[in-house]
């Protein structure tokens, strides 16, 4: 291979002969420089792209971390709210159970029920054989299931206590109704028995005459009360009785309260045991302030002393 050199200053021409090594070196230089430059440029471009990809990946990871942190905070807040709600519900159920226990104990004492029949301070009787899990076969603890079981047990206990309470209230209502219907006690809050039931000396004529009731003397205007619950079937003037109140009770009983200064209970009204129905006076055939008290059973006058001596159960 020959290289011809032409000079501008002279007309001379020089010729250079290249041997095999020089030709190879020259080829390498001529071809290698562009390749090297291209490679360097490619590396630079690739480095830029990798840098961009790396920066994008970091930004995306940072964004995911922010989202996950928000989700974690939201989950923690929801868990805190759920726990607070569960704690409040548990406190309400326990307070409700305590109130039921206290009310049940009071009703048990009022109803005079035998000890042990209704024990509100002890949990309801439960039982059964205990089963042990084999080693390695134990299931993981399920917190939600445990909470559900806890609230289910509390709800069952509340239901049990409410059932007992309703039964107690029913028993107490029946007992109160029976007590209200039963004729017991005196028809006055203050005063003394001035005349008994049966034959006596008549205060106006001095001869022996039948006295169909019991007289209670006292202060003018003092209270006269019903000895049992019932319906007022008479409230007004009646010959010989003056102002009188008559009450029709159950089981064929009727009571009369006579010689009143004022009748308070109105005709047709329902009165309760111990309710004030009149004021003591001396109206009608009377010698002084007192109440003439009569008891009728199935239309026949009976001795009121039997019922006066009764005590409420």
**Two tokens at 54?**
């790396």
- Give pLDDT, residue 135: 46
d(CA 163, CA 171): 12
**pLDDT, average across residues 111-127:** 55
**pLDDT, average across residues 3-31:** 60
Question: Is pLDDT larger for residue 67 or for residue 139?
Answer: 67
pTM of the shown model: 0.48
* Locus of tokens 């039964």: 167
CB 222 within 8 A of CB 277: no
166-203 b/e (C-beta count within 10 Å ≥ 16 → b): eebeeebeeeeeeebebbbbbbbeebebebebeeeeee
Is the pLDDT score of 164 beyond 90?
no
The beta-carbon contacts of 131-134 under 8 Å, at least 24 apart in sequence, are none
- Give pLDDT, residue 32: 64
Closest C-alpha to 185, from 194, 193, 174? 193
- Give pLDDT, residue 76: 73
Is the pLDDT score of 138 beyond 60?
no
The domain made up of 192-308 has a fold known as Glucose Permease (Domain IIA) (2.70.70)
> Going by C-beta distance under 8 Å and a sequence separation of 6 or more, which residues neighbour residue 228?
180, 181, 182, 183, 184, 247, 249, 253, 255, 273
- Give pLDDT, residue 63: 75
Question: Is pLDDT larger for residue 264 or for residue 105?
Answer: 264
- Give pLDDT, residue 69: 74
Q: What is the mean pLDDT of the chain?
A: 75
d(CA 84, CA 68): 24
d(CA 232, CA 224): 14
**Which helix (H) or strand (E) covers residue 291, if one does?**
strand 290-297
> Going by C-beta distance under 8 Å and a sequence separation of 6 or more, which residues neighbour residue 76?
none
Is the pLDDT score of 71 beyond 70?
yes
Question: Is pLDDT larger for residue 134 or for residue 170?
Answer: 170
Is the pLDDT score of 235 beyond 90?
yes
Q: Give residue limits of the domains in the chain.
A: 2-79, 192-308
For the stretch 272-298, pLDDT in tens is: 999 999 999 999 988 899 999 999 999
Is the pLDDT score of 35 beyond 70?
no
């Amino acid at each position: 291979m020959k290289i011809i050199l032409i000079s501008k200053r002279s007309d001379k021409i020089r010729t250079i002969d290249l041997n095999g090594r020089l030709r190879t070196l020259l080829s390498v230089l001529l071809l290698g420089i562009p390749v090297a430059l291209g490679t360097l440029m490619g590396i630079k471009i690739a480095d830029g792209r990798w840098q961009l990809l790396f920066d994008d990946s970091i930004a995306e990871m940072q964004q995911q971390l922010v989202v996950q942190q928000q989700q974690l905070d939201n989950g923690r807040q929801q868990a805190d709210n759920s726990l607070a709600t569960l704690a409040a519900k548990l406190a309400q159920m326990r307070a409700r159970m305590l109130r039921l226990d206290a009310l049940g104990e009071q009703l048990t004492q009022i109803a005079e029920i035998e000890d042990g029949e209704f024990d509100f301070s002890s949990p309801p009787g439960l039982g059964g054989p205990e089963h042990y899990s084999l080693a390695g076969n134990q299931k993981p603890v399920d917190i939600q299931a445990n909470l559900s079981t806890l609230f289910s047990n509390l709800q069952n206990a509340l239901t049990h206590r409410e059932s007992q309470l309703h039964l107690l209230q029913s028993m107490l209502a029946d007992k109160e109704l029976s007590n209200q219907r039963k004729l017991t006690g005196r028809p006055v809050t203050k005063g003394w028995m001035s005349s008994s039931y049966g034959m006596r000396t008549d205060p106006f004529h001095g001869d022996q005459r039948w006295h169909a009731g019991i007289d209670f003397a006292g202060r003018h205007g003092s209270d006269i009360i019903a000895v049992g619950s019932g319906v007022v079937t008479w409230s007004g003037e009646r010959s010989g009785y003056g102002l009188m109140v008559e009450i029709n009770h159950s089981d064929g009983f009727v009571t009369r309260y006579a010689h009143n200064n004022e009748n308070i209970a109105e005709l047709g009204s329902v009165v309760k045991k111990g309710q004030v129905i009149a004021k003591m006076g001396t109206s009608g055939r009377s010698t002084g302030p007192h109440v003439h008290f009569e008891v009728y059973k199935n239309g026949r006058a009976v001795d009121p002393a039997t019922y006066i001596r009764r005590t409420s159960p």
